Chains A and B, each alone.
Chain A
């Protein structure tokens, strides 16, 4: 039995704002969330890339200590967006704790700031002192599913837990596997998303791979530059996104506010290299997604591309889009606004796409000034387009050769 799955709530904390109003304002006004990299008293002086997609505004949390004690920064983000989604959805506490609601949520590797504290203690304290300083909760704060289970604890959620930790496809998998959980009747609803906290180690990893942007260190807002001729790499970022998925009839009967329908999802692997983008692998993912959604590629009006602004990644993605969708759909690279929010990017880009569908506009790819001729076969968005979007695709690709596509449709 295949059931229809709809999105009934969405919330995000991003470098360009917290909540729909702020985020839409940034999209409409070309506001970038990329800021100078902060000093970390550890490795930041040695990192060549000096930019970071930063959440630099205050967020007022009201979590009680019994919840805070197992929460690292990534879980603060996660629980906050989860709280907002639960409130927005209007689901009752009885339903939330009934076992009919599950959680699919993740981060790329737990909490790096907690792990860093553990190692700092380990390498600086002597003997027994190091052992004593490792707290009883350090593992709970830093384990790979820490975001998911801090959410279940805080809200008493007793359904299934899925916690993908597949780097940049973490939260697109959360939504995809959440969608399948509801579609095939395992859960009535799934709270899905991902989060990552401020972390310079992630920057160092990409920096060492020569994949980070370095040419705009003195002008952070001009990078990253998806599909642009002057793009020189990605910008690591922080943030969180969460959505509520529900079975369509259940949502309709209870009078839920339906934001969009998830009509398809696909995920595959390149079956080889763990880093390099793979044209055949990505092309297959996009085709599988279209088949899963049971639509014609021409029905897709808008594609939110993964588009990290690396030299090869954008070209391979452009070729794959061209192969499957031709030049019909508009293509936007939302990372131009905030950089690459890692585990959160799939959910944040899904949420931004929903906002654009709701508000009837397509945001331009920020910093796309001169399209790289090798990416020019697509229908790029370089200024705000006021046009309804009925069907959209969100593409994400990750280290490890993991590829995903989500397909959304606005309900008429």
Chain B
């Protein structure tokens, strides 16, 4: 999964689920769009669907301080990478 693919899907989620069109990558989502804690929980569910696996409570808590699309993409990239790494390690 490339960074470009992640960005595209996150923007799709924002348009489809939150009716936020073309948010700036570094916009503060709360200040610019009123994106609140309820939205954040819904976003995590959408990220789970995108990744194809459930996030642990610990992984979800890591998302609490996220404020921008760039940070969301960093988060998804990190989770996806760690999952890939652990899967690879398991295969060895």
A-side residues, CB < 8 A to B, are 64-66, 69-70, 132, 135-137, 140
Q: Out of A64, A70, A132, which one reaches B38, CB within 8 Å?
A: A70
* Bound CA–CA A137/B39 (angstroms): 9
Return chain A residues, CB-CB under 8 Å to B33. Answer: 66
- A66 and B34 contacting across the interface, CB-CB below 8 Å: yes
Return chain A residues, CB-CB under 8 Å to B18. Answer: 65
* Bound CA–CA A300/B19 (angstroms): 53
* Bound CA–CA A119/B12 (angstroms): 31
- B34 and A136 contacting across the interface, CB-CB below 8 Å: no
- Which A-chain residue is minimally distant from B37 (CB atoms)? A136
- Which B-chain residue is minimally distant from A67 (CB atoms)? B34
- A136 and B19 contacting across the interface, CB-CB below 8 Å: no
* Bound CA–CA A135/B41 (angstroms): 9
* Bound CA–CA A132/B54 (angstroms): 10
- Which B-chain residue is minimally distant from A128 (CB atoms)? B54
Return chain A residues, CB-CB under 8 Å to B39. Answer: 69
A140 vs chain B, min Cβ distance (A): 8
* Bound CA–CA A69/B45 (angstroms): 15
* Bound CA–CA A166/B34 (angstroms): 34
Return chain A residues, CB-CB under 8 Å to B36. Answer: 66
Return chain B residues, CB-CB under 8 Å to A66. Answer: 33-34, 36
A219 vs chain B, min Cβ distance (A): 45
* Bound CA–CA A66/B29 (angstroms): 13
- Which B-chain residue is minimally distant from A136 (CB atoms)? B41
- B38 and A137 contacting across the interface, CB-CB below 8 Å: yes
- Which A-chain residue is minimally distant from B40 (CB atoms)? A136
Return chain B residues, CB-CB under 8 Å to A132. Answer: 45
Interface residues in B20-39 by Cβ distance below 8 A to A read 33-34, 36, 38-39
Return chain B residues, CB-CB under 8 Å to A137. Answer: 38
* Bound CA–CA A64/B18 (angstroms): 10
* Bound CA–CA A169/B33 (angstroms): 39
Across the A-B interface, the 10 shortest Cβ-Cβ residue pairs: A136-B41, A65-B19, A66-B34, A136-B38, A137-B38, A69-B38, A136-B42, A65-B18, A70-B38, A64-B19
Q: Give me 4 other A-B pairs in contact (C-beta within 8 A), A135-B42, A140-B38 excluded.
A: A69-B38, A69-B42, A132-B45, A136-B42
B51 vs chain A, min Cβ distance (A): 15
Return chain A residues, CB-CB under 8 Å to B41. Answer: 136
* Bound CA–CA A137/B41 (angstroms): 10
- Which A-chain residue is minimally distant from B36 (CB atoms)? A66
- Which A-chain residue is minimally distant from B18 (CB atoms)? A65
- Which B-chain residue is minimally distant from A69 (CB atoms)? B38
- Which A-chain residue is minimally distant from B41 (CB atoms)? A136
- Which B-chain residue is minimally distant from A64 (CB atoms)? B19
* Bound CA–CA A137/B36 (angstroms): 12
* Bound CA–CA A65/B42 (angstroms): 13
* Bound CA–CA A140/B39 (angstroms): 13
- Which A-chain residue is minimally distant from B42 (CB atoms)? A136
* Bound CA–CA A132/B34 (angstroms): 25
* Bound CA–CA A136/B41 (angstroms): 7
* Bound CA–CA A327/B5 (angstroms): 78
Interface residues in B26-74 by Cβ distance below 8 A to A read 33-34, 36, 38-39, 41-42, 45
A86 vs chain B, min Cβ distance (A): 20
A97 vs chain B, min Cβ distance (A): 16
* Bound CA–CA A136/B42 (angstroms): 7
The contact sample of 17 A-B pairs, CB cut-off 8 A, is A64-B19, A65-B18, A65-B19, A66-B33, A66-B34, A66-B36, A69-B38, A69-B39, A69-B42, A70-B38, A132-B45, A135-B42, A136-B38, A136-B41, A136-B42, A137-B38, A140-B38
A152 vs chain B, min Cβ distance (A): 15
Return chain B residues, CB-CB under 8 Å to A65. Answer: 18-19
* Bound CA–CA A136/B43 (angstroms): 11
Return chain B residues, CB-CB under 8 Å to A69. Answer: 38-39, 42
Return chain B residues, CB-CB under 8 Å to A136. Answer: 38, 41-42
* Bound CA–CA A64/B42 (angstroms): 17
* Bound CA–CA A69/B33 (angstroms): 14
* Bound CA–CA A136/B44 (angstroms): 11
A71 vs chain B, min Cβ distance (A): 12
- Taken residue by residue from 1 to 23, chain B's Cβ proximity to chain A (1 for < 8 Å, 0 otherwise) reads as 00000000000000000110000
Return chain B residues, CB-CB under 8 Å to A64. Answer: 19
B69 vs chain A, min Cβ distance (A): 17
* Bound CA–CA A65/B41 (angstroms): 15
- Which B-chain residue is minimally distant from A140 (CB atoms)? B38
Return chain B residues, CB-CB under 8 Å to A70. Answer: 38
* Bound CA–CA A132/B42 (angstroms): 11
